[in-house]
């Protein structure tokens, strides 16, 4: 397939919703619902985009009428920071496309790459994969190929679609799929190296004001019904009883750990220093 007929979008990060199982939880759901109706509402901090969270909430409120969900949508990093602050205060592509991270250094891609500055934990991923020293060497060599830098999926994807770049890196898979679903001439590359997963967990705060409504919402989100909705929205779920559109070998997954989140400001500065100077 010629690259002038389909642009290639290369990704190394993607979101999936981790499934949390609780023994005998079904027996408690009815009690939670009765109590939740008295609480009437639940506040949900989430990094899901607005459209996806609205679809999930619509299904939840249909199943559990009388419990209103208020969404506070922020980035994954901001959600964690907000919680901690508050707690302290009380399809395959063309054969010539890259398949391994090292392939990105090929002269073929000089001046034809686009990097997303909005995923600073990509720095962590590359240093975890190659090792700290070799990872930094790789990143510096990649920066020397003069990639275009964008902050966010939308700007980068528009660049690829327009032909200003041929390969986009440090993207989340669902962001690329959203463009594909709208008919954009792009595709995801099948990466042979390990794929890094950004885990989106869900939990209940110990001092939640509406604990039963919160339990009900968490149970719904991690249930087969909730995870099926998310899978239909191009998210990746680890539930074995829920089919996902994206076929990923789970054995190749590596998780972006909490240590990456703790140093996200440092990685963000490294991204800017490497790819914008």
Give residue limits of the domains in the chain. Answer: 7-15+98-198+244-275, 22-90+207-232
Q: What is the 3-state secondary structure (H, E, C) of 21-83?
A: CCCCHHHHHHHHHHHHHHHCEEEEEECCCHHHHHHHHHHHHHHCCCCEEEEEECCHHHHHHHH
Q: Which residue has the tokens 């949900």?
A: 44
Coil, strand or helix at 100: coil
Q: What is the DSSP string of 174-216?
A: HHHHHHHHTT-SEEE---SSPEEEEEE-----TT-SSHHHHHH
CB 191 within 8 A of CB 12: yes
Per-residue pLDDT of the chain (277 residues; tens, 9 = 90+): 233 334 444 444 433 333 333 434 455 677 788 888 888 788 887 777 778 888 888 888 888 888 888 877 666 555 555 555 555 555 433 334 778 899 999 898 899 899 999 999 999 999 999 999 999 999 999 999 999 999 988 889 888 888 888 889 998 887 888 888 887 777 777 778 888 887 777 888 888 888 899 899 989 988 999 989 888 887 878 788 887 776 666 677 788 878 888 898 999 999 999 999 7
Coil, strand or helix at 1: coil
pLDDT score for 91: 40
CATH topology of domain 22-90+207-232: D-Maltodextrin-Binding Protein; domain 2 (3.40.190)
For residue 58, what are its two tokens? Answer: 């619509």
Q: Which residue has the tokens 């993607």?
A: 14
Coil, strand or helix at 84: helix
Nearest 5°: phi and psi at 232? -70, -20
- Domain 7-15+98-198+244-275, CATH: 3.40.190.10
For residue 82, what are its two tokens? Answer: 């907000």
């Amino acid at each position: 397939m010629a690259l002038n007929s389909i642009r290639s979008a290369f990704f190394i990060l993607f979101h999936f919703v981790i499934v949390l199982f609780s023994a005998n939880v079904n027996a408690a759901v009815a009690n939670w619902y009765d109590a939740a109706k008295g609480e009437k509402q639940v506040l949900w901090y989430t990094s899901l985009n607005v459209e996806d969270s609205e679809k999930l909430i619509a299904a939840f409120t249909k199943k559990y009428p009388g419990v209103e969900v208020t969404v506070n949508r922020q980035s994954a990093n901001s959600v964690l920071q907000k919680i901690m602050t508050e707690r302290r205060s009380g399809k395959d592509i063309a054969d010539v496309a890259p398949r391994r991270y090292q392939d990105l250094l090929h002269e073929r891609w000089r001046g034809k790459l686009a990097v997303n500055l909005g995923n600073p934990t990509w720095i962590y991923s590359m240093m975890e994969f190659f090792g700290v020293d070799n990872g930094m060497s790789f990143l510096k060599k990649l920066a020397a190929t003069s990639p275009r830098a964008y902050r966010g999926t939308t700007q980068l994807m528009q660049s690829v679609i327009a032909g200003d770049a041929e390969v986009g890196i440090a993207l989340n898979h669902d962001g690329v799929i959203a463009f594909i679903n709208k008919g954009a001439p792009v595709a995801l590359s099948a990466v042979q190296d390990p794929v890094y997963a950004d885990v989106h967990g869900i939990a209940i705060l110990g001092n939640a004001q509406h604990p039963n409504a919160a339990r009900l919402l968490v149970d719904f989100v991690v249930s087969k019904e909730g995870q099926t909705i998310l899978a239909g929205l191009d998210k990746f779920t680890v539930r074995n009883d829920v089919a996902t559109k994206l076929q990923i070998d789970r054995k190749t997954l590596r998780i972006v750990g909490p240590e990456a989140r703790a140093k996200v400001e440092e990685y963000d500065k490294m991204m800017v220093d490497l790819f914008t100077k």
